[in-house]
Amino acid sequence: MTWPVAVGDMLDGKYRVERVIGAGGMGVVVAATHIELGRLVAMKFLLSEGAGSPEIAARFIREARAAARIPSEHVARVIDVARLPSGSPYIVMEYLEGHDLDATLRHGRLNGDEAADYLIQACDAMAAAHRLGIVHRDLKPANLFLAHQLDGTSLIKVLDFGISKSAFDPALAGITNAGALVGSPLYMSPEQMRSAKDVDHRTDIWSLGAVLFELLAGRPPFQNDTITGLIADITLGEPADLRELRPDLPPGLVAVVVRCLEKKPERRFADVAELAAALAPFAPQRAQRSVERAHRIVGSVPPAPYSSSSIPPARGSSAPPVTTVSTAPSLSVAPTSLPPPPRQTAPGEPPAVGVTAGVGHGTAPGWTGTRPGAASSSARTFALVVAAALGAAGAAWFALRGSSPPAKLEKEGSVALEARAVAPAPPASAITVAPTVAAALAPVAPAVVASADPGAASAEANALKAKPKRANVASSALSATPENKKNGLSMQLK
């Protein structure tokens, strides 16, 4: 095998080759130092066997163009593209510390949360690629690189867009032959097996499902000793039962894998954003950021948290997957009775305070009640005003008549006045008024008038009539006092 470069070579006057990172059947990757910037970069070259093929060289350039167009932190960043003196192209990319998932699988299968986290990050990258019309067509563990970050975390980087299909690059259209078997057969979808040229983004969903299967089970979903047998198994057969290989996995996670590996593309997840949302319940909380970003990229709204009880459509059925959601039934209590409609207020009567009458768990629309005690309080106030008016009228009557009240009342007036001044006010509910006052108050507050007894009314009237006399006597005494005259005070009632 002839290497295109050697350690210590200086390329383009600024890249010095440091060491070989890895080599494959068609190319080699080396670490180099950017002399001007003083940082490491990765450089990818075609081997001499591939450099002489125009088709392979065109795919190599396509990889650089595709990766450079995808603005995602989960895609290895392309820095530069140049050519060797021989004309063979090479790509300069960011240098990544870490290893791919193929190397991870050599140490055993992964836990469900770890595998779901890696796949969601890959979905984040592929959402950006699919938005640009780029289909990878070669997603596999070796092309998912686990890069170590400075903070100690790891980040999935999607590599090798060399055989990607672009719907928006006319210069690269038609490179793939209709009958060519393009991709890695262990992770290829049935439709890609039949024609790699006539596939869309859903072939990548199949490949991601096959990768997830292997991360969880430690083996691919389809295995065969021959390529023809493998093709027959993928196009016609069923994948291995993940439940038997990993009985400890949540059924919902197994259902996600099964749906990715549906034979018909329309029965898989509609896009990688939907796949990421389905994996979210089984991944760490930090993966939610990638889920939301994938939905923003593809232009869809993130759904409610995906239920782990989601069931994929049964094989042979075109029904969509069913997600069971249990919600508490809403309770509504019908009112057994409604309050009476509000009465009409009389002219001059203080208006009642309207409040909403609550019935059960709701309200009775259109009905209002009165604040407790509002009517009785208004009626008491009105009764006192009427009583005071009657007292004033009686006093005026005695003054105009010029006669004195009965001797007994005059004699006992001062005593009654003192007793009334110290006696406690009667309860509001026991106010007694004259029959005429009772008749006047009956339309307003019938519940307030406790009694209209004639005897009680007479006693109340006599008490009211006594007030003017007492006032007259008191005023005479004041007028006869020299100090009061001196001060100019006069309270004679005319």
What's the CA gap between 42 and 25, in Å, rounded? 18
pLDDT for residue 330: 34
Nearest Cα to Cα of residue 57 among 11, 22, 89: 89
Residue 328, in any domain of the structure: no
What's the CA gap between 462 and 449, in Å, rounded? 20
Using the structure block, give the residue that is written with the tokens 């009165």. Answer: 370
Which residues form the domain of 199?
97-172+180-315
Residue 364, in any domain of the structure: no
Residue 223, in any domain of the structure: yes
User: Model's pTM, two decimal places?
Assistant: 0.60
Please tell me whether residue 157 adopts helix, strand or coil conformation: strand
- What is the crossing angle of helices 407-422 and 454-479, to 10°? 90
Whichever domain contains 56, its CATH number is 3.30.200.20
Whichever domain contains 224, its CATH number is 1.10.510.10
pLDDT for residue 12: 92
What's the CA gap between 351 and 49, in Å, rounded? 101
pLDDT for residue 259: 98
What's the CA gap between 221 and 187, in Å, rounded? 9
Please tell me whether residue 238 adopts helix, strand or coil conformation: coil
Structure tokens at 485: 């005259």
pLDDT for residue 198: 83
211 and 132 within one domain: yes
107 and 89 within one domain: no
- What is the crossing angle of helices 272-279 and 112-131, to 10°? 160
Which of these three, 315, 336, 370, is where a domain ends? 315
Nearest Cα to Cα of residue 138 among 219, 217, 199, 53: 199
Please tell me whether residue 357 adopts helix, strand or coil conformation: strand
* pLDDT tens readout for residues 420-442: 444 444 444 444 444 444 444 44
pLDDT for residue 56: 83
Structure tokens at 102: 């193929």
Please tell me whether residue 366 adopts helix, strand or coil conformation: strand
pLDDT for residue 305: 54
Residue pair 272/201 in contact by the 8 Å Cβ criterion: yes
* pLDDT tens readout for residues 278-319: 999 999 999 999 999 999 999 876 665 544 444 444 444 444
Structure tokens at 129: 């690629």
pLDDT for residue 389: 74
Q: How many residues does the chain have?
A: 494
What's the CA gap between 236 and 231, in Å, rounded? 8
298 and 231 within one domain: yes
Question: DSSP string of 133-153?
Answer: TEE-S---GGGEEEEEPTTS-
Structure tokens at 187: 């992770």
pLDDT for residue 244: 96
168 and 222 within one domain: yes
Residue 165, in any domain of the structure: yes
156 and 10 within one domain: no
- 316: which residues sit within 8 A by CB, 6+ positions away? none
What's the CA gap between 215 and 118, in Å, rounded? 10
Residue pair 444/349 in contact by the 8 Å Cβ criterion: yes
CA torsion angle for 345, 348, 349, 351 (degrees, to 10)?
Answer: 70
pLDDT for residue 16: 97
Residues of the chain with pLDDT under 70: 1, 162-183, 301-383, 385, 395-494
What's the CA gap between 491 and 494, in Å, rounded? 9
Residue 296, in any domain of the structure: yes
83 and 116 within one domain: no
130 and 31 within one domain: no
Give exposure, 462-493, as e/b (b: 16+ Cβ within 10 Å).
Answer: ebbbbbbbbbbeeeeeeeeeeeeeeeeeeeee
Contacts 24+ apart (CB under 8 A), 106-109: 108/218, 109/215, 109/216, 109/217, 109/218, 109/246
Residue pair 272/129 in contact by the 8 Å Cβ criterion: no
What phi-psi label fits residue 183: left (phi over 0), alpha (psi between -120 and 50 degrees) or beta? left
pLDDT for residue 162: 65
DSSP one-letter code for 480: T
Which of these three, 48, 65, 95, is where a domain ends? 95
Alpha-helix residue ranges (DSSP H) falling in 280-406: 288-298, 374-401
Terminal-residue alpha carbon distance, the chain: 139
Structure tokens at 198: 């006539």
pLDDT for residue 378: 57
Nearest Cα to Cα of residue 115 among 292, 310, 249: 249
Residue 144, in any domain of the structure: yes
Residue 341, in any domain of the structure: no
Residue pair 63/93 in contact by the 8 Å Cβ criterion: no
Active-site residue flag, 124: no
Could you give the number of structural domains in the chain?
3
103 and 38 within one domain: no
Annotated catalytic residue, options 100, 138, 204, 271: 138
Residue 320, in any domain of the structure: no
214 and 134 within one domain: yes
Which of these three, 33, 68, 95, is where a domain ends? 95
What's the CA gap between 8 and 17, in Å, rounded? 5
6 and 146 within one domain: no
156 and 102 within one domain: yes
